[in-house]
Amino acid sequence: MRVIALFRSAAGWLGRRSALLLLMVTAAGLAAGGLARLAGASGAADGCWLAAAGLGLAYALWSAADSLRHGRVGVDVIALLALAGAVAVRELLAAAVISVMLTSGRALEAWAALRARQDLSALLDRAPRTARRYRNGSVETVPLDAVAVGDLLLIAAGDVVPTDGTVTSAAAVLDESALTGEARPAERIRGDQVRSGVVNVGAPFDLRASDTAADSTYAGIVRLVSEAENSQAPFVRAADRYAMWFLPLTLAVAAVAWVAGGAARAVAVLVVATPCPLILAAPVALVSGLSAAARHGVVVKSGGVLERLAQCTTLILDKTGTLTAGQPQVTAIIPASPGDLDADGILTLAASLDQASGHVLAAAITRAGAERGCRLTPPSGAAETAGQGVAGTVAGREVRLGRAEWAGAAETDSWVRAARRRSRLDGALTVFVAVDGRPAGVLLLEDRLRPDARQTLRAVRRGGIGRVVLATGDRAEAAEAVGALAGADAVIAELTPADKLEVVRREQRRAPVIMTGDGINDAPALALADVGIAMGARGATASSEAADAVLTVDELSRLGDVAAVARRTRRIALQSVLAGMGLSLAAMAVAAAGLLPAVWGALLQEAIDVAVILNALRALAPVRPEVRLTTADNDLTRRFRSEHRAIRADTEQLRTAARALGEPGAMDRVRHVHELLTREVWPHEQAEESSLYPALNRVLGGTDPTAPMSRAHAEIAVQIARLGRLIDDIGDRDPDDADLADLRDILYGLHAILRLHTVQEDETYLSLGSADGADGAGRAPRHKPVSGVAPS
For the CA atoms of the chain, what is the radius of gyration? 34
Using DSSP bridges, classify how beta strands 513-517 and 490-492 pair: parallel, antiparallel or unpaired. unpaired
**Taking a C-beta distance cutoff of 8 angstroms, is the pair 270, 253 a contact?**
no
Measure the CA–CA gap between 532 and 387, rounded to whole angstroms: 36
Measure the CA–CA gap between 241 and 235, rounded to whole angstroms: 9
Measure the CA–CA gap between 97 and 257, rounded to whole angstroms: 21
Question: How many Å separate Cα 770 from the centre of its chain?
Answer: 12
**Phi and psi dihedrals of 343, rounded to 5?**
-60, -45
Class of residue 381 by CB neighbours under 10 A (exposed 0-12, middle 13-18, buried 19+): exposed
- Closest to 574 (Cα-Cα) out of 532, 616, 523, 528: 616
- Closest to 365 (Cα-Cα) out of 333, 409, 392: 333
Question: How many Å separate Cα 628 from the centre of its chain?
Answer: 16
**Phi and psi dihedrals of 190, rounded to 5?**
-55, 130
**Phi and psi dihedrals of 722, rounded to 5?**
-60, -45
Measure the CA–CA gap between 623 and 459, rounded to whole angstroms: 13
> For the chain, first and last CA: distance in Å?
67
Measure the CA dihedral 490/466/577/300, to 10°. Answer: -40
Catalytic residue among 175, 318, 518, 554: 318
Dihedral sign of CA atoms 488, 492, 494, 496 in order: negative
Is 518 an active-site residue? no
DSSP 383: E
Categorise residue 527: left if φ over 0, alpha if ψ from -120 to 50, beta otherwise: alpha
- Closest to 752 (Cα-Cα) out of 717, 716, 785, 707: 716
State the CB neighbour count (10 A cutoff) for residue 232: 14
**Long-range contacts of residues 244-251, Cβ cutoff 8 Å, at least 24 apart:** 244/73, 246/75, 246/273, 246/581, 247/73, 247/74, 247/75, 247/77, 247/78, 249/585, 250/78, 250/588, 251/81
Measure the CA–CA gap between 773 and 783, rounded to whole angstroms: 20
User: Residues with catalytic annotation?
Assistant: 318
